Structure 1
Amino acid sequence: MASTFSTAQLGITLSAISYLGQPNTNPERFTLMNTAITNTVASNWQIVWGPATQGEDLVYVASNGAGQYAVVVRGTLFDRIEDVIQDKSVSTQEALPFTASSFPNAQVSKGVVEVWTNINNMVSSVPGSGTGSLLSFLQNLSGSPSILVTGHSLGGQMATVLAAWFQSTLSNASILPITFAAPTAGNPAFASAFDSVFGSAMRYYNALDVVPRLWTMDGLESIKSLYPGGPQCGLICKTAVDDTVKSLQKADLTYTQPTASTSLPGQLYSTGWAGAFESEVNDQHRALYYMFLLGIPLATIQQLNATWAPPSQVASRSVG
């Protein structure tokens, strides 16, 4: 068990734990996730609300019992990056679905609004955990709580939006968003306001990860030649990228990432120029790999998945 975690290490570990128990019920996930938290973060951190689900989305809240909380949003469950790239919900932007005076003119993708609606409608009913909606639970916290808002992949994207929501509704709380592998949530006005409001926020991304390159134009185009010396984005992948770029250009939409960011130096699992692109994308995007890149010991990571290993400890998958 890790004795001391940095805020980033805490965030990525809690984010990785959100993926556990995918076929289970929420009460079963509650037990499984709490055990994982004890085995990785520390025994004083436990789930105090949720996990709650709506559609394909999941959120839980953990606390150390000393006024510190973490709102954790699970990321996308996907097998094919082309399916993610071709997500039509990014070709429409909408105003924030809540009042946030610090975010004038901010717009986010239609898909983000849909996920926020799911989260807003979640109700926790797990025995031993907090009940009611997420916002009502946080509003009823006593004192001046410190709230880390975090997630990996879609979870990181949504963490930026939830942070804006909480900042506008929780007058007694200190909000800190920390994200991992997050695609872009919204337009330049959203990113600019986010930078102004959350000066201590940080976005972590693996330089070899496709997902945090979504949905800026430069990021999308870079996918087509992402792995020099490794597997390449093929015809289906390139077509998905080109179609998305054309869709955004036609709608005259721009997506911008928040400014504060830290690039993590991933290494390729595969070598050669053909095949295995999907496998490489999945490997580079895993929350477990982000844990490793953030300096968490392999023995701790393997508490969540006993068979996972970094590229340096896996035989190179030669595809050339």
Structure 2
Amino acid sequence: MTSAAAAVDDAQLMTLAGIAYGDPARIAGYLAEATVLDGAWSLGWLPVPPDPPVNFAFAARNMEADVAVVAIRGTYPNPLSPAYWSDASQDSPFGPMSPWPGSGDAKIGGGTAAGLKGLLELTDGSGAALQSFVGSLPPSTTLVVTGHSLGGTLAPVLALILAETFQDRPVAATSYAGMTPGNAAFAALFGPGSRLDGKVRRVYNTLDTVAYGWDAVLQTRGFYDPAPKGGAVVDAFLLATAARLDAGGYDYGAVGTPVPLEGTLRPEQPDCTLIAYMLENLHQHLPDTYLALLGAPPLPFSILFGTIVADKPATELARAETGLPVAYASTA
């Protein structure tokens, strides 16, 4: 698979999106060491993570291909940090929506608007924001925005801002496991006649329930076949969520060309059906699952149950030394 308007395949883009979860101090090393990136990618822009690190992204460049990629991190993977809960609020579809400037009825979710604001406020050590970095690129350089999960939700929104700001630059976006950022009128801003028409792709695992929010919530009823099933508890939650979305008139509409990846269930499941369902949900959503579906190697670090990001050789050591979940643990 190849991303729209750029010579970057999905294995590379998803790897870059996954690297955004890692220790910011190690990102340059991860780019150099990832075999799927062929040593062709270097760090272009690395912001100082805010405290708490609610939103984060970095930019990488492939000079030979004349492409730059902005990779947006998903939800911060440490529930002991306020950043996790702030990101969780950005994941929510509820609450007041934010109008998209100059676009009539187009609106994005309030959480998505907060996430976009957080990304645009990031600056590197010299005070340069993302838009300054993009403006410094050669005019011929194609810009691709990507991200996983919350990063996938934000990817097309950030791409639209950058396309509107830099109207002579080729811009594209590919999201992974992202949720729907705005209403149908907002989705139309990516449709026929728009600058991003045909340049935005939405890649999702068919068994990843997250990717069905928030325009197709009820399509996940009955996951997974034949097991594990969520049962009455999950069914009631989905029905209540869909009813609340309908009553609120949110009218969420998916953005971009859908690219489904056929997911597969893990062969062994715990005895408790509800726990098995929750664990399967987590597995189907993780970056390494997406990388496997794309035929790419796993990330050099682990994201365990949403609480630990650590270099794989150091994961157990990091947990043992602290006795608590840790984020951004590293052997370096």
Cα 1:302/1:19, change in 2 over 3 Å: closer
State the TM-score, normalized to the length of structure 2: 0.76
Cα distance in structure 2, aligned partners of 1:210 and 1:84: 16
Unaligned 5+ segments in structure 2 are 1-6, 80-86, 303-310, 313-332
Tell me the equivalent position of 1:156.
Answer: 152
Q: Does 1:15 align with 2:11?
A: no
Tell me the equivalent position of 1:202.
Answer: 201
**Deviations 1:214-243 (CA, angstroms, capped at 9, x unpaired):** 011xx2223331102112225554444344
Cα distance in structure 1, aligned partners of 2:143 and 2:9: 11
Cα distance in structure 1, aligned partners of 2:21 and 2:91: 21
Work out whether residues 20 and 27 of structure 2, in 8 Å CA contact, stay in contact via their aligned partners in 1. no
Cα 1:209/1:84, change in 2 over 3 Å: farther
Tell me the equivalent position of 2:56.
Answer: 58
Task: Give the alignment of 1:35-184 within 5 angstroms.
Answer: 35-37=32-34, 39-54=35-50, 55-66=53-64, 67-77=66-76, 88-96=92-100, 99=101, 103-125=103-125, 132-184=128-180
State the TM-score, normalized to the length of structure 1: 0.79
Work out whether residues 78 and 84 of structure 1, in 8 Å CA contact, stay in contact via their aligned partners in 2. no
Cα distance in structure 2, aligned partners of 1:303 and 1:119: 25
Work out whether residues 149 and 177 of structure 2, in 8 Å CA contact, stay in contact via their aligned partners in 1. yes
Structure 2 letter corresponding to 1:18: A
Cα distance in structure 1, aligned partners of 2:182 and 2:165: 20
Paired-residue identity, %: 25
State which drifts further: 284-293 or 250-259: 250-259
Q: Does 1:212 align with 2:211?
A: yes
Tell me the equivalent position of 2:276.
Answer: 276
Cα distance in structure 2, aligned partners of 1:13 and 1:241: 31
User: Number of aligned pairs?
Assistant: 283
State which drifts further: 205-214 or 242-251: 242-251
Cα distance in structure 1, aligned partners of 2:180 and 2:13: 19
The CA RMSD over aligned residues, in Å, is 2.9
State which drifts further: 47-56 or 152-161: 47-56
> Counterpart of 1:261 in 2: which secondary structure?
strand
Work out whether residues 49 and 131 of structure 1, in 8 Å CA contact, stay in contact via their aligned partners in 2. no
Work out whether residues 148 and 177 of structure 1, in 8 Å CA contact, stay in contact via their aligned partners in 2. yes
State which drifts further: 154-163 or 228-237: 228-237
Tell me the equivalent position of 1:311.
Answer: none
> Which residue of the other structure, out of 176, 182, 195, is the alignment partner of 1:186?
182
**Deviations 1:95-138 (CA, angstroms, capped at 9, x unpaired):** 12xx4x5x54321100000001111111111xxxx751111111
Cα distance in structure 1, aligned partners of 2:42 and 2:286: 23
Tell me the equivalent position of 1:248.
Answer: 245
**Deviations 1:170-193 (CA, angstroms, capped at 9, x unpaired):** 133100111111110010011122
Work out whether residues 29 and 51 of structure 1, in 8 Å CA contact, stay in contact via their aligned partners in 2. no
